[in-house]
Every structure is written in C-alpha cells, then in structure tokens.
Amino acid sequence: MIYKRHKTCFVRTHNLHHVTYNTTVRGLNDVIIGTIRSSLTDIQTNAIMQLVTSNILLLGGTIMGNEIKNQQAVKHGFALTQNHPYNPAGQCWKLHSSLGEGYYWIYKKPEQYTIHIYEFSLTQDYLLEYDSSNRISIAYYQSVAGKEFSPYQRLNAGCIKTRIGLTEPYKAILNKYIPIRCICIEIMEAYYQNFICRESSTSLPSFQDLQLEQYSIDHTDMIPILKKIKANTKATNDAAKFYDQQIEQLIKQLQMDYQNRTPMTTRKLTQEDILQLQSVTSYINDHYALDLPLEHLSKIANMGTTKLKYAFKLYHGFTITEYIQQRRMSHAEYLLTHTTFSMKQIANTIGYASSSRFAELFKKSTGILPAEYRKLSTNKG
C-alpha cells in the first residue's frame, strides 16, 4: 500500500469554483498559457491566499519552443528574446511588463530531458500546472510564495520538490509580486530506463521503484547539482555535453537517495494511529502560535514521543516543528500584506519572542526577508 501525505491543510479549507478556461494555448508543449477567471470563497482563515478575480497565466511542464508561434506567446504575455542573462544554448522568453517582469528559460533534449529556469515576478496570482505522468520532475525554489495542491500546503524556498510518474497534474498558486526563482528538471521515463540499461546493474531502482517510494526519499543532496546547472550561463560549444553530464549526476544522486531511504513498505500506520494524529494536528492548527512541548502533544496523541515524531512525519511528510513553522509563516504572510503591524508585533503574534528569529525563519521559508515581502506584496516597490 502506498501512503500518501494526508491532505490536511496548513490553512483551513476554502472553495475554489467558477473556473472557466478561455483560449487555452497548448504551445510550449505542456506549458499551458491561458486565461482563467476564478474566485476563492468561504475563506475560513487569515492565512488563505488573496482573492483571485483577474486573469491568471498557466505555466508549467515541458516547453517545446518550436511548437508555439511567437505571436501566440506575445498575445499571452511572453516574447522570445535574445537579450537575456542565460546560456544561449537554450531559448528564453521575456514576460510582458503588463503581467510582471522577468524571464523563463528552457533547454530541451528531445525525448530525454528538459531544463527550465523561472525567474520572474507577477502582477497577479498565477496558477502553475504541469504533467508528470511519464517523467521525473525535480524542482528547487530559491525564492517563492504560494500554495500547492494535493496535498494543499505552502510552497517553501530552499527545498526540493519531486514528482515521479503521477497521473494527476501538479498545480500551485504563485503569489503576485513575490520573486519566483526556480530551476526545474524533467527526465523522461524512457531516458531513465535506458540509463539503467547502460549502467548494466540490477541493483538500480526502476522508474516504477522510484514512483512507489517517492514520498520516502530525501533529495537535499541534489541542491548543489541544480545550482551548478542554473549558474552555467557561459556560451560554449560544450553546453550539450555539460548538461548531459549534470543530468547523469542528478540521476545518480536520485538513485543514491533511493538507496538511503526508509522503505514505505516497512512503515505503517494503524487506523487508530491516524485518528490520534488527526486529533493532535487539529490541536496544533488551533494553537500553533503557542509553545507546544512534544511531551504535551504526545499526551494528546496518546503516543510516546518517539512514536509521535515518527508517525507524524510519515502521515504529513513533515516533522512537527516544520509543520508548526509552516502554519506560522502562512499567518505571517497575511499579516505582512494586510496589516501595519511591526515586525516585532508579527513575530509575537505567530509565536516568536524575537523579530530576528522570525526574520531568519521567514527568509528560509520564502527566500526573502519579511520587510521585503511586505514591500513587494503590497506593491510599494
């Protein structure tokens, strides 16, 4: 049985409805650029995203620049440009000033892999959507603010997001004005399987193995490789060779991460465990701004402290500390945007005695400092 992370929201639920798609363009391969009108209603928490009532751009997936006409890209906000700071071996698209500022760059090796670099900020909340049904998708955000779905949770900077062969499309809302700095690698299933064949080793995980265990793998060690790929902006004749080598290193690191995992098949939760975890999660949701000693939470969950830590991470995909920080940062984003509270007041409100500690954790979560977030999110920059 595959245990997926429980879909408990870091903020209380809301309804997303009245969604209509107009002139959806399936150019740029699986990058979907279109317009939707959407409204968020029944908001039950201060940490929920801002109401979306204007045009939203859909981005994501594998781009094939030669499959979209330039006039279509311009119509929907992007224009092919030669004047950019990225490696000329790829293609770069500049965002129209009416939608924001920045660039989207892509390098594609057909049927093998694609490298995406997102570096822009937007004037409206945007919906990111892409397909990962026949590929390994690895994304690293250096700065971001928003929410992702399935499960519904905050997008965090400084961590790796992977999706391997999942049938449902990935969807996330990116908050307006906040810089999005991300590198995403997509490795096609057939290319990965061929790589295994070339290595001639029966101990290497198959695509299906990775798919089955994807929620149990820690990919932190991939970050240096992804940063190296992103930093390569020089024009050389060996760009293809460089990218081939880095993708192979990424695959090898993925395989090493798989070997170091705690297998899903050895980890199980009983129905009673799940009910107890739901209770302690609800308690945390209502008291995350307070000091919550592990011993106190273990009594609520009717578990020992060791079992609670283990079971909570298995159930949510996060440690208790990470979960509490997620809740606090979501509330902080709202307070920064919608109040004039000082940094000290916000820190105290969400559970930190020190504004410097709050600023440190906020930057770790979003990639930017709270004061900069307020300036950008209120469009006073």
At 90 the pLDDT is 93
Residue 7 falls inside a structural domain: no
Same-domain check for residues 292 and 199: no
At 264 the pLDDT is 55
pLDDT tens for 223-265 read 999 999 999 987 677 899 999 999 999 999 999 988 887 665 5
Please report where in the chains the tokens 């299933």 appear, as a residue: 189
Burial of residue 137, with CB atoms counted within 10 A of its CB: 0-12 exposed, 13-18 middle, 19 or more buried: buried
Handedness of CA 235, 239, 245, 249 (dihedral sign): positive
CATH of the domain at 339: 1.10.10.60
- Record the pTM: 0.75
Q: Is 59 helix (H, G, I), strand (E, B) or coil?
A: strand
Residue 9 falls inside a structural domain: no
Same-domain check for residues 19 and 81: yes
Same-domain check for residues 34 and 181: yes
At 365 the pLDDT is 94
Residue 118 falls inside a structural domain: yes
At 41 the pLDDT is 33
Residue 49 falls inside a structural domain: yes
Domain extent for 346: 323-377
**Size (the chain), residues:** 381
Same-domain check for residues 239 and 273: no
Same-domain check for residues 351 and 290: no
Same-domain check for residues 203 and 232: yes
Residue where one domain finishes, among candidates 276, 291, 317: 317
At 266 the pLDDT is 53
Same-domain check for residues 213 and 81: yes
At 74 the pLDDT is 52
Residue 370 preceded by cis peptide, ω within 30: no
Same-domain check for residues 166 and 289: no
Same-domain check for residues 208 and 346: no
Sorted by sequence, the CB contacts under 8 Å of residue 342 that are 6+ apart come out as 355
Residue 1 falls inside a structural domain: no
pLDDT tens for 330-366 read 999 999 999 999 999 999 999 999 999 999 999 999 9
The domain total for the chain is 3
pLDDT tens for 29-62 read 333 233 222 333 333 233 223 322 233 344 443 3
Residues of the chain with pLDDT under 70: 1-76, 201, 215-216, 235, 262-267, 380-381
At 330 the pLDDT is 93
At 170 the pLDDT is 84
Residue 2 falls inside a structural domain: no
Residue 151 falls inside a structural domain: yes
Residue 50 falls inside a structural domain: yes
Same-domain check for residues 129 and 230: yes
CA–CA separation, 14 and 270 (whole Å)? 29
Same-domain check for residues 273 and 163: no
Same-domain check for residues 149 and 297: no
